[in-house]
Structure 1
């Protein structure tokens, strides 16, 4: 009996490892494809809007992105954890998420409109206020999209999860090409394409959830308060504070640069940021897949969880080697893709590389 039990456990571990490897590889493939689409989008925006227009666009989309990070309350992380453990039904989690989304959207939009009305000239002196107000329309769909894709992640349905995340960049690229290449509609057109892309991505993700069989329809989603509300907040806020600080760490430099040097310098710097952050593809893929798996396998003995440190070291080494390659390729790559106007992006790109490498290690551990 003992050898048979041992072989059974070994077989389960092998199957779990294969599943983990497949999911990481599949998610990494999506990351590579999405990165290519996003870089192409950045190239189109940079070339057709120029440094100043590129800077204006980057500042405007930063506002709804920051609001979504600030006000998600760690609910996506809670969804992944509790669904991964099988502690909550998907339908109950969605009910809870929709209630939070409704309240947080109202809170976020009302406070942001008031804040921009009072302080936009002080904090965004060279950015037209009409663009800032218009960009707020992206906040509600961006927030709900973060909630819905986390449900698919928690279910470990990475085929649908990756499809939902690819829908936004692909649709945004198509709409950006229409807005800038065909219609020549400037920054306003680029923002319109971004907002429409977020809405399309949200609709695709909801349909994927329905087709997964976990949901039947929207009917009754807002009724009967669920105890999951309290549990998700209790778990989520612990990760939420770290996520806010991480976002500020990644994006405060863009806000400060715009405040002191204006949109043109920001537009050049953003190119460096967009390029080097592609090196996070591997760490993002690994952390996306590993979190629900650890939640599923966790048995209360932290000493057994050796998977994360081993993967973190592999991610650090791979990202480090990739950063060396990018450092050599930056000099011909930046002018070739974005134009000679962005040649000054090379120096900040090189300066950002060490931080990108070491943060990739911490992203997996976190």
Structure 2
């Protein structure tokens, strides 16, 4: 499979991701302009939500693997996983509401807002497994674009309702807009996925509990890998908040969000290639994963300096003078972010082809351990720059370990990744 075979799907996904990020940046600007303290609290709130989504991300990936790797009928799988997602969401809502009663400080005291959306919070990533497994990039991308668009609309309504001429928003306004978008898009994704995978005549619904019992190892491993990955991405924020406060967290959060824009490029390639990486033939899957990895890193390497210059010039104008120094940690984050762009396609190979998401979990856990220890040592000494340098170094070390494991599984020489041809069957 040549790179050209990935281009149409990658182009669709990249275009949708660009739209998503443009809308997401508009959300960042809108929230950041309320002040670094609101931005910091909002970022930590979203980090909690991201951890919850990551924990149950295996539902959608199990559905995608069943469709792409095994060729299963998607209708019973979809309905079973959606029942699991809603049931887990209801239990999560109870836990979040209880946590909000115990916690007193923002954003943890506001977790009751997230409890309102929890019953449908897992519907979007679960239903997306149908479209990911089928390689339907347009349908896969639609909820991702709709989420920030709905947030912006809700923020606009909240600002207009203020009627004070300034439209200043409190943290509660921002969180209410965020939660409303989750509910609306979750319900829309539920209806769309059920419509696109109608039940076959005479189909007996498969018990959701039985499906979860069959797939629990895969789901648990995916959830562990993604939770550790989210913590790896976000643990510096919690360390910065503990050591330097919410204002500094808001500034660092903006630097992180800008740096992670680079992953749009690698994610577009790996997502478009996901179905092909899941092909039963080991040589074909490895070849596609290798191509997606190489081109993803190359694209982010070219884009990184352009992104840094743009951030240096435009961030103070877009989000305010309080964020003028965000370019400093950003410069230290970018090298590690460029290297970590390789993780996306390699993770798809381990998860969708080999059915061994525990390898991705181990790599993310290595990066998390290095990042947490580095931040605890560096942030008290060098502040935001210390957090950024620690993160970048942990990404570089973890991706080196990931490459060795990928090369071994794919049958390519670890010392010459870009010259290698993954066209032979790897040893069992």
TM-score range, shorter chain: 0.7 to 0.9
8 Å Cα contact 2:100-2:109 kept in structure 1: no
**Aligned equivalents of 2:90, 2:96: Cα separation in 1:** 10
8 Å Cα contact 1:74-1:236 kept in structure 2: yes
Equivalent residues in 2 for 1:159-178 (5 A)?
159-178=138-157
Change (3 A) 1:38 1:236: same
What residue in structure 2 maps to residue 6 of structure 1?
none
Q: Deviations over 1:147-186 (max 9, x none)?
A: 1112211122222111122111111111122223553442
What residue in structure 2 maps to residue 201 of structure 1?
185
Which structure is higher in helix share? 1
8 Å Cα contact 2:67-2:130 kept in structure 1: yes
What residue in structure 2 maps to residue 9 of structure 1?
none
TM-score (norm 2): 0.73
What residue in structure 2 maps to residue 60 of structure 1?
45
**Using CA pairs below 8 Å that are at least 6 residues apart, which structure has the higher relative contact order?**
1
Shift of 1:225: 4.9
| Selected match of 1:28 from 7, 11, 14 | 14
Q: Deviations over 1:334-353 (max 9, x none)?
A: 11211111112121111211
Change (3 A) 1:221 1:251: farther
Q: Deviations over 1:110-131 (max 9, x none)?
A: 333344444x35xxxx426542
Q: Does 1:45 align with 2:31?
A: yes
**Aligned equivalents of 2:12, 2:88: Cα separation in 1:** 33
SS at structure 2 position matched to 1:233: helix
| Selected match of 1:237 from 211, 220, 223 | 220
SS at structure 2 position matched to 1:305: helix
What residue in structure 1 maps to residue 368 of structure 2?
none
**Aligned equivalents of 1:302, 1:240: Cα separation in 2:** 27
| Selected match of 1:156 from 117, 132, 135 | 135
**Aligned equivalents of 1:186, 1:101: Cα separation in 2:** 31
What residue in structure 2 maps to residue 257 of structure 1?
240
Unaligned runs of 5+ in 1: 1-12
Change (3 A) 1:61 1:335: same
User: Is 153-162 or 182-191 further displaced after alignment?
Assistant: 182-191
What residue in structure 2 maps to residue 291 of structure 1?
274
Q: Deviations over 1:277-330 (max 9, x none)?
A: 1111011112222222222x323x347621211221111111011111122222
Change (3 A) 1:128 1:365: closer
Equivalent residues in 2 for 1:113-128 (5 A)?
113-118=97-102, 120-121=103-104, 126-127=105-106
8 Å Cα contact 1:280-1:360 kept in structure 2: yes
What count of residue pairs does the alignment treat as equivalent?
340
**Aligned equivalents of 1:142, 1:277: Cα separation in 2:** 23
TM-score (norm 1): 0.84
Unaligned runs of 5+ in 2: 348-428
Change (3 A) 1:112 1:162: same
8 Å Cα contact 1:61-1:135 kept in structure 2: no
Change (3 A) 1:140 1:265: farther
What residue in structure 2 maps to residue 134 of structure 1?
113
Equivalent residues in 2 for 1:55-94 (5 A)?
55-70=40-55, 72=56, 74-94=58-78
Shift of 1:109: 2.8
**Aligned equivalents of 1:139, 1:267: Cα separation in 2:** 25
What residue in structure 1 maps to residue 83 of structure 2?
99
What is the root-mean-square deviation of aligned Cα atoms in Å? Answer: 2.5
**Aligned equivalents of 1:310, 1:223: Cα separation in 2:** 38
What residue in structure 1 maps to residue 373 of structure 2?
none
